[in-house]
Structure 1
Amino acid sequence: MSQHVSSPLLAVLLVTSSSRGPSLSFRFPRRPKLEKRYSKVRYLVAKQEVKQESQPTSQRQISDSSSSEEEGDALDLDGTTDDDDHSNIDATPAPSSRKEDAEVASSVGGASAATKEAAATVEAAEHARRRKRAYEQYLGYDCETLASLLAPKRELCHQKFELVIDDLAFVGHPVCVDKDGKWDVEEASSDEELRGRDDTRRGSASGYRIGSPDHALAEPSRSSTIANPMTLFHFVLVLDRPDPSPDLPALDLTSWLQIFYDNIAFKMTAALFAEEIRCQYVSQECDKIGALRERCMDDGQSYSSFLTHANHTSSLAKSIQQVYSSISLSSNAFVTINESIEAHLQLPPMLHEPSKMMKMADIETPIDINDAIFTNTTSTKDGRVLPSRPINAEQLMHEEWSRTTGPFLLPWKTLLLLRENHEHGRPDDPDDASEYSAFADKGIEAWARKFTSLMKPTLDGVPTLADSADLLGWNLEEDIYPMVRHLIYYREARVIDVPRIQNYYSVSPLFELAELAKLSTSWSIKFLTLPPLPSFLATLSSALKPFSMQINRRDQRQLCLDALIWLLRHEIVVQMHVRLRLVANESCKRKAAIARDQERERIRKKRVLIAERRKKEEASGEMVDGFSSFGASMQAFSADLSQSAPVFRGERDEGIKTAKKDRGRTRDQSTPKQDEMDDSEDDELYLNYDIEFEQWETQPIASIIAEPSRASGDENEWIAAMVEGKEAWQTERMYKLLPFLNGKHTVDEIVYRLEWRRKDLRAVLAAFREDILTFVHP
């Protein structure tokens, strides 16, 4: 379903080092090709101008004539041409070679037999020189120079290696022997600890360190029987540095290289390192490859012939070629190292389908960053507290698309098996049969079959991840989630919401119309009684209604479910979730205003009583005690006033004037400090009114409460007006529902997290139908 994207992987190298020095033991492919970048714009020209460019005085001819032989081919990085590769259309000889060939051809045409023999000798010598250069140069460098660049010192081993030269990036993880000259697990672990590395690699999809005790070695390390034992090896990926892309604006070069390092270079190095410790596998294979290379050079064979022989002679060379061929085609690389360790290498969706990542905003609702699910923290061994999940939507999307194990897992989600007969234990896709056979009858596959047997879609739905944990008696975090990520990694399942034919579905914005013709054929073969796929999708997108109504046959409910599952497996449709928003309408705002008016009237009367009490106390001569009690009363009054609500303008002004009259009668008998307190109270009385309130106090307008769980003072009064007059159980459930009324939560999530039944939620929605807005969104 994904559109093919050209791979930036140019080559795969294996660099080794021994007492003889560093060497480039193996490289693939023979002639890596790099898309040429220009420093200035090249304009299209007319045909007559093209003829002028072919003249010897043209700038293009001058620049070509001054180029070296390696620079003649714009796409071939090594500038080599074997004698058996003349059929390649991209194998363009260098300018000097073209000139020599033309001279030889003309001389041969009209010369004697001796001249022809001399020309043949010159041509044979030229071919021999090119064959030798194919063995000695690569990527525009001498192999010895390239090996010295990629064989770091011991202090730089057992860590990430990154080198960028012009448009080429070299990424790997070099490993070496310990101080005693032995390949040891403890050496790799101690080097990482000395550099301050954690037990689990940051961002590494492998989840373990090279030489981790979790991957214990089955056999002890053999004593070295090689004349010049290998002291270092380095599995290197050569990448074409990417240009800035609108599809990945936030992905810088370091992050981009980190993806290749985590998912390919580190995993492959870990497998090779384990086999080198166990049986000196890499050392022996490199000796085979080196002896074969010397023999092919002595026999005058081309480098292409050497690669063909190496593929049949060395299992390591075959594995390296498999890795390059698979990754360069944007597919999974499944290799077996020495028939002992199985390595499954793949790149995340961010690099496979970058254009789809930009469209995800159309089908995903922004996350609630204040939700407890996204604000959980974890503590490390050294006492640091780190967030366990991203804190914003951009980070969340980047994390999901840069991982090969799927999105963040939530207990109310479920799993959609991508193979129809997965529960029978055999894949239906012949291309996946080899991958499946490698894992069949292994321990984890037995548990996987037990888990996937529960995930068969039925008319009653599919068990959620939380339900499957209860049914199997497994732990959700420790058992279910790792199993789900295992199935996602091997592309056997995908996380979705529970599919029901009563739900709403629409055509997914991620669906590529270029695939419609191919899928229409499969649809017609599988669903003979249903309309053609284009017609069915047109009907589906024309009106929003339950999926079961798209097939108006009550006796064909199972057919309806099968069609829905087929569409979901091919990512053609997406579920439209019902979401909730809280709306403060005009009636509740008027009710809240009346309540605020009544509260302010109560405070005004309380102030009058306090003033009368003060006058009586002053008249009786208890001035000191009266003043202290009056100050306490005024303090309580100010507290009530700060929480009171505004009243309508006419009644508000009348209340303030009455308060001023009452204060004027006693101003002459009060102290200057008390007068200052009264003036501040008047200012507070005016400032306590919301300016926006004046715009709708006569004709209030309905508005949405964006975050009901973090409502403002006015919004809390509106919510109180909503629940006024409701039954106790309705009020209680309404307050529990408030955190989910921001439009960012689905019905499945609400029912799971509140531990309600669906009819309980429907009862609350019916009781507050005038205050809760329902809408659909993916």
Structure 2
Amino acid sequence: MEGINPLSIFLVKDGSKGDRLLFRYPYTMENRDDEAKKRARQSPYSVEPSENILYKAKPPLSNIKNGQLSGFDDTVLSNLFAVKMGLCEKRLEVKVNDVRFIGHPTLLQSGSSDSVLPRIRHSTSTSIILINIVIVLRASASHWVVECYYELSQRLGVALRHEEHRCQYLHNEARLMLEAHDEVAAQPEDSAESPYDLILERSRLAKELRDIYHDAYKLLKGYQISSDLYYSLCTSGVVKRRLNNWIGINFCLPQKVHYLRNQLLHIEPGTIYKCLESIQPYHGILLLGEESELLASLPPDSSSSLKRLVKMASPLKNFHQLAADTNLTLLHIFQLTSHLVYWAKVMVIYPLCETNVYVITPGAPADLASLGEEFREVFPGLSLLSVLSEFSLPTSLSHKHTPIWLFQQQNQQVQVIVWLLRHRLLMQLHTYVFFSPPVRKPIPSHIRRSSRQSTPDFYLGLSEGSSEKSDGDSDVTVETQTQMVQEDQSQRTLAEEDEERGSKGDSELQYEALFPNLSQLEIEVILACPAACDAEDLKLFARMLPYFHGKHHIEEMMFMENMRRSQLLELIEKFRPVLLTCTHEDPRLAIFYHH
């Protein structure tokens, strides 16, 4: 997860007094040395060394030292990210060597257009025109990681603009930061004090930016930090705080949140979106923690419908049942579920029932010592290895009649399965059906007979007698005979078609209407099945045939066509000669498991 954590976060402002880097975190001794050298060069008696044109030092290939940003002083950063007005309210992304800067320059005031800014309650005397909160990442960070951090930069900029218009929060904090910079600059040149130490002592905004970023190693070294450390980018990937104790900022880095749930999973937001687009009403949700913990983690102003969904959630209910129990629309249930899945609070499953088939997950850890202790605490008297051994092969819950399960009540069995699903130790398998008619072997060429039209007897007789007549009469006779033969052939063709249509009236034409997309050979193979003699079974097979292409499992067919499982399984067994079945996981839910 090294490429997901940010390298640095800093705040740049631009206004009537020029641009300035107000705050950066983390700051190192290298940053202090750069500032000391800068102050030393500002002396009027200092002499700049002349440039040696014969030797040019190669620029550093890496701007990362000890996991932090290096090689950029404050002046370079302020000049680079205090952009012109035309680049404000847009995405700003800069790549230098092996680091990537991502930010969203935010206008605080505009002289020409008021549509960009929200309505200001009172006039402000601030001289700040724009701010830019820039987050530094490794250049190798994935596209989705960059997108997430850009969203965070945009949210922070909008929140600061709101607070500036409400109570001049940014103006007051910027004044404290500038005073700290000027105070340190006035100290002797050999002073090693950093202005950012003073800024962290005096500025609330600096502390909030530090807590948003905060490194986990600060906790180990005994630094005095707020409780919001546990909701930071470098520890949990979650930001939950109220800027200036007023406006809430809730942000989630789904790659890290899902990774901390299961370190074998590497889930990108794009994969989550694809999964959520394919969920169906017959699916359900499984809470990845206790209900009380999940409710306590929700913000105080969270939606009441979200709390209602969490309270009514059960692994035995599908989305249709949840919509009825919570008195919410199905679309609203899907939206709330998407939010919970994104934050790794729930996972999408097929609701538990006796016919569900489970098997041990391919990515289950080999060392189960720690999980075994946790399992024994939750379920005294049961062994995790013994329970998992029951699912070494695909096993239906209705077939659990071993001594391990006999003494348990049904409720406890459900709790055991829920615990195993939460820890991704079990995976559900579904049965998929394929229409696969057997291929008929071609007829050998020496047996095949050529089809040719036979010549009518009367035509042969007339043609023989025509040689005895004169040349003038022969032309008329031949034309007449040819016309008669053509009329006779057309009459025979019409008669044969009528006879064929009459014979097909109740059989072949009816079969072609039942199976409009099948070839004649495929229809014949279906009719060869013994169950095809029953008209009801044949109609039911034609109705279910669009599902027999391996993309719909049995549970989905039951929901879509409102059928009982026994009825569907009986139909599959009757037409077994033309059907194949296979068992595997649901591709829609594959993101929740390691492969």
* Aligned counterparts, 1:626-775, within 5 A: 627=486, 714-722=521-529, 725-775=532-582
Give SS of 2:128's match: coil
Aligned match of 1:316? 205
Is 1:30 the counterpart of 2:27 in the alignment? Answer: yes
The 5 Å alignment of 1:446-485 reads 446-457=304-315, 462-477=316-331, 479-485=332-338
AA partner of residue 377 (structure 2): I
Q: Please state whether the residue corresponding to 1:27 is helix, strand or coil.
A: strand
Q: 1:169 aligns with which of 100, 120, 127?
A: 100
Q: Measure how far apart 1:304 and its partner are.
A: 7.9
Residue 281 of structure 1, CA deviation: 3.0
Q: Does 1:497 align with 2:497?
A: no
1:530 alignment partner in structure 2? 382
> Residues of 2 paired with 1:29 and 1:527: CA distance?
45
Letter in 1 for 2:310: T
Distance 1:492 1:331 in 2: 14
Q: By how many angstroms is 1:709 displaced?
A: 9.8
Three-state SS of the structure 1 residue aligned to 2:293 is: coil
- Is the alpha carbon distance of 1:145 and 1:470 closer, same or farther for their aligned partners in structure 2, counting shifts above 3 Å? same
For residues 153 and 577 of structure 1, what CA distance do their matches in structure 2 show? 57
501 and 294 in structure 1: CA distance in 2 versus 1, 3 angstrom threshold: farther
2:132 is aligned to: 234
Tell me, yes or no, if the aligned pair for 1:77 and 1:140 is still in contact at 8 Å.
no
State the Cα distance separating 1:636 from its structure 2 match.
Answer: 12
User: What displacement does 1:232 show?
Assistant: 0.8
Residue 411 (structure 1) aligned to one of 264, 275, 281: 281
Cα deviations by residue, 1:177-232 (Å, 9 ceiling, x for unpaired): 454178x4x226xxxxxxxxxxxxxxxxxxxxxx6xxxxx7xx4321223xx1101
Of 6, 23, 27, which residue of structure 2 is paired with 1:9? 6
The answer as to whether partners of 1:501 and 1:564 remain within 8 angstroms in 2 is: no
Cα distance in 2 between the residues matched to 1:498 and 1:613: 78
Aligned match of 2:234: 328
Choose from 330, 337, 341 the match for 2:247. Answer: 341
Other-structure match for 1:540:
391
d(CA) in 2 for partners of 1:753 and 1:774?
Answer: 19
Asked if structure 2 preserves the Cα contact closer than 8 Å seen for 1:151 and 1:234, the reply is yes
Preserved CA contact (<8 Å) 2:531 2:537: no
1:621 alignment partner in structure 2: 480
What displacement does 1:311 show?
4.1
Over 3 Å counting, the alpha-carbon distance change for 1:68 and 1:480 in structure 2 is same
Q: Given that residues 346 and 404 in structure 1 are in contact (C-alpha distance below 8 angstroms), is that contact kept between their aligned partners in structure 2?
A: no
Uncovered stretches (5+) of structure 1, i.e. residues with no partner: 34-65, 79-137, 189-210, 212-216, 244-250, 361-396, 594-599, 642-707
- Whether the 8 Å CA contact 2:531–2:575 is kept in 1: the answer is no
Structure 2 gap segments, 5+ residues each: 31-55, 215-231, 463-476, 501-514, 586-595
1:499 aligns to what SS in structure 2? coil
Secondary structure of 1:274 counterpart: helix
Distance 2:145 2:105 in 1: 19
Measured against aligned partners, the alpha-carbon deviations of 1:275-320 in whole angstroms (never above 9, x if no partner) come to 3344433333222322234335556798887545544533322221
Cα-to-partner distance string for 1:142-189 (whole Å, 9 max, x where unaligned)? 31221111122111111111111111111111122454178x4x226x
C-alpha distance in 1 between matches for 2:83 and 2:249:
26
> CA 1:543/1:157 → structure 2, altered by over 3 Å: closer, same or farther?
closer
For 1:26, the aligned partner's letter is F
- For 1:306 and 1:404, how far apart are their aligned partners in 2? 47
Pairs aligned (count)? 507
Aligned to 1:328, what secondary structure does the other structure show?
Answer: coil
Q: Which amino acid aligns with 1:525?
A: E
Letter of the structure 2 residue corresponding to residue 463 of structure 1: K
Cα drift, residue 609 of structure 1: 8.5
**Aligned to 1:621, what secondary structure does the other structure show?**
helix
Shift of 1:19: 1.0
Deviations 1:651-692 (A, max 9, x none): xxxxxxxxxxxxxxxxxxxxxxxxxxxxxxxxxxxxxxxxxx
The secondary structure found in structure 2 opposite 1:505 is strand
1: distance between equivalents of 2:124 and 2:418? 57
In the TM superposition, residue 504 of structure 1 has moved relative to its aligned partner by 1.7
How far, CA to CA, are the matches of 2:263 and 2:536 in structure 1? 44
Shift of 1:351: 9.2
Pick from 80, 85, 108 the counterpart of residue 154 of structure 1.
85
Determine the C-alpha separation between the residues in 1 that align with 2:110 and 2:495. Answer: 78
Query: Kindly, what percent of the aligned residue pairs are identical?
Result: 22
Counterpart amino acid of residue 389 in structure 2: A
1:288 aligns with 2:176: yes
Shift of 1:27: 0.9
Partner amino acid for 2:317?
P
C-alpha distance in 1 between matches for 2:429 and 2:575: 23
4+ residue runs over 6 A deviation: 66-74, 299-305, 354-360, 609-620, 631-638
Matched residue SS, 2:279 = coil
CA spacing shift, 1:710–1:221, aligned 2, 3 Å: farther
| Aligned CA-pair RMSD | 4.5
Match of 1:141 among 59, 72, 85: 72
Superposition TM-score, scaled by structure 1 size: 0.56
Post-superposition Cα deviations, 1:321-344, rounded to whole Å, max 9, x if no partner, equal 122122223521212222222222
Find the residue that maps to 2:140 and give its secondary structure: coil
Give, in whole Å, the separation in 2 of the partners of 1:761 and 1:409: 22
Taking a change above 3 Å as real, the CA distance of residues 758 and 150 of structure 1, as seen in their structure-2 partners, is same
Q: TM-score, normalised by structure 2?
A: 0.72
